[in-house]
């Protein structure tokens, strides 16, 4: 389950299914701050939203409008519009979002059904390299706002979607995207216009917050079927296939959904004299699709060695399945000594601070205090990072 956090002027939560609505209400988010943002909802879940006071729901087609009008007549609707996500890694507009041509018809039907449409949402897709896609979508949303106003809908919500980059070295920096968005908002939705601007910042916040450590469970040499190469080199070309305890049906699902190619950091830094071998990484499920990465050049690795993957916080742990009997991974929380000292001064009274000194210390980013952890580390590196 992935529950995206939706940040606004007065923070809200965007949920895709009933379990997420249950979760955010359980942790204290009021129903008035929840948006049921899935444009294709089960009738039972629409009724659940109505029963538990969730009023904001998304839609992008006429049938969805009919379902909501019947099962949740007091709902306030947010119209999801299609975007130009042709350059994005994940093309959400293939299945979600109403075209501009259909928006007036949908708004008219909503009015006939006595359903209030209070806003517009869009999503430019995961890994969008073009900030101008946001500017165009904001301009399109302005047109839909004007359509709604003509038909008597009082619209006051604009949801900019999510998938904002949360790592250094992204093709487009978050600051570049923010600059384009702010310029477009100044033009089409200036401050004081009475519109609340929402954006789902889950990926931005959590991508770099998690680092994954996985162990090699098996290895084998695989002959590459390349006719003629054996005659040229005197031996058949080979590649090393390493099997890990996590794969694309679990934490590495981004390989399937976002076309990523995870690059591992080795636990032990190889010497310059060590030869590199053509290598591939595979998950625990025995099928041809559970390939984590190919075309890697790695030194000779062994069963039991650990590989580290950075920036594994978004759409990883929460998206896994138990296919093949794999279990969810253990999460070990870590922070630097500087951050720990700052938090301890703020959160612990002096007497408790003294008692805690010898009892429990957090896992440091440098791994230098693993012997005093309350929970053992995932692995113990050979040296301090």
Mean pLDDT computed over 92-119: 93
Give pLDDT tens digits for 161-176: 988 998 888 888 999 9
Distance CA 367, CA 385 (A): 7
Mean pLDDT computed over 279-289: 89
**DSSP H or E stretch at residue 279:** strand 277-282
CB atoms within 10 A of CB 308: 17
Q: How confident is the model at residue 180 (pLDDT cuts 50, 70, 90)?
A: very high
> Parallel, antiparallel, or unpaired for β 5-7 and 238-244?
unpaired
What's the whole-number average pLDDT of the chain?
Answer: 82
Give pLDDT tens digits for 98-109: 999 999 999 999
Residue 138 contacts residue 185 (beta carbons within 8 Å): yes
Give pLDDT tens digits for 68-84: 999 999 999 999 999 98
**DSSP H or E stretch at residue 214:** strand 212-223
Give the range among 50-64, 231-245, 294-308 with minimum mean pLDDT. Answer: 231-245
pLDDT at 315: 81
Give the range among 43-47, 237-241, 323-327, 337-341 with minimum mean pLDDT. Answer: 323-327
Share of the chain above pLDDT 90, in %: 52
Q: How confident is the model at residue 367 (pLDDT cuts 50, 70, 90)?
A: very low
pLDDT at 383: 31
Residue 10 pLDDT exceeds 60: no
> Parallel, antiparallel, or unpaired for β 157-159 and 116-121?
parallel
Q: Which residues pair with 369 in a beta bridge?
A: none
Q: Which residues pair with 182 in a beta bridge?
A: none
Residue bearing the bigger pLDDT, 337 or 376: 337
Give the range among 215-229, 247-261, 322-336 with minimum mean pLDDT. Answer: 322-336
pLDDT at 192: 93
pLDDT at 359: 44
Residue 185 pLDDT exceeds 90: yes
Give pLDDT tens digits for 14-27: 898 899 999 999 99
Q: Which residues pair with 196 in a beta bridge?
A: 157
Q: What is the DSSP letter of 50?
A: H
Domains and CATH numbers, the chain: 5-206 (3.20.20.10), 210-325 (2.40.37.10), 332-385 (no CATH)
Residue 114 pLDDT exceeds 90: yes
pLDDT at 309: 94
Q: How confident is the model at residue 1 (pLDDT cuts 50, 70, 90)?
A: very low
Residue 87 pLDDT exceeds 90: no
Mean pLDDT computed over 329-353: 76
pLDDT at 136: 95
Residue 38 pLDDT exceeds 60: yes
Paired tokens of 167? 């790592």
Mean pLDDT computed over 350-369: 46
Q: Torsions phi, psi of 144, nearest 5? A: -70, -40
Residue 326 contacts residue 253 (beta carbons within 8 Å): no
CA–centroid distance for 102 within its chain: 29
Distance CA 359, CA 344 (A): 14
Mean pLDDT computed over 105-127: 94
b/e map of 45-74 (b: 16 or more CB within 10 Å)? bbebbbeeebbbbbbbbeebbebbbebbee
């Amino acid at each position: 389950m992935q529950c995206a956090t939706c940040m606004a002027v007065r923070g809200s939560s965007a949920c895709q299914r009933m379990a997420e609505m249950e979760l955010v209400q359980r942790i204290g988010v009021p129903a008035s701050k929840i948006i049921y943002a899935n444009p294709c909802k089960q009738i039972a879940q629409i009724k659940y939203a109505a029963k538990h006071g969730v009023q904001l729901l998304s839609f992008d087609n006429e049938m969805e409008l009919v379902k909501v009008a019947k099962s949740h007549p007091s709902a306030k609707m947010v119209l999801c519009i299609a975007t130009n996500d042709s350059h994005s890694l994940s093309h959400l507009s293939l299945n979600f979002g109403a075209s501009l041509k259909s928006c007036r018809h949908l708004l008219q039907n909503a009015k006939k059904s006595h359903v209030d449409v209070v806003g517009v949402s869009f999503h430019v897709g995961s890994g969008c390299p073009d900030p101008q896609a946001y500017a165009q979508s904001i301009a399109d949303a302005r047109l839909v706002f004007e359509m709604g106003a003509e038909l008597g809908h009082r619209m006051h919500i604009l949801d900019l979607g999510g998938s904002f980059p949360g790592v250094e070295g992204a093709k487009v920096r978050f600051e570049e995207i923010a600059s384009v968005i702010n310029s477009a908002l100044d033009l089409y939705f200036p401050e004081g216009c009475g519109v609340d601007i929402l954006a789902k910042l889950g990926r931005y916040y959590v991508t770099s917050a998690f680092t994954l450590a996985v162990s090699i469970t098996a290895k084998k040499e695989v002959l590459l079927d390349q006719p003629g190469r054996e005659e040229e080199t005197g031996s058949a070309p080979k590649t090393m296939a390493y099997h890990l305890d996590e794969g694309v049906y679990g934490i590495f699902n981004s390989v399937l959904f976002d076309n990523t190619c995870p690059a591992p950091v080795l636990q032990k830094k190889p010497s310059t004299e060590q030869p590199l071998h053509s290598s591939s990484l595979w998950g625990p499920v025995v099928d041809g699709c559970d390939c984590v990465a190919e075309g890697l050049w790695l030194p000779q690795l062994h069963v039991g060695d650990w590989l580290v993957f950075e920036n594994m916080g978004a759409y990883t742990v929460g998206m896994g399945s138990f296919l093949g009997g794999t279990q969810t991974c253990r999460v070990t929380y870590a922070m630097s000594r500087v951050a720990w000292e700052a938090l301890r001064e703020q959160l612990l009274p002096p007497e408790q601070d003294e008692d805690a000194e010898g009892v429990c210390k957090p896992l440091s980013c440098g791994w230098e205090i693993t012997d005093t952890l309350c929970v053992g580390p995932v692995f113990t590196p050979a040296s301090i990072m």
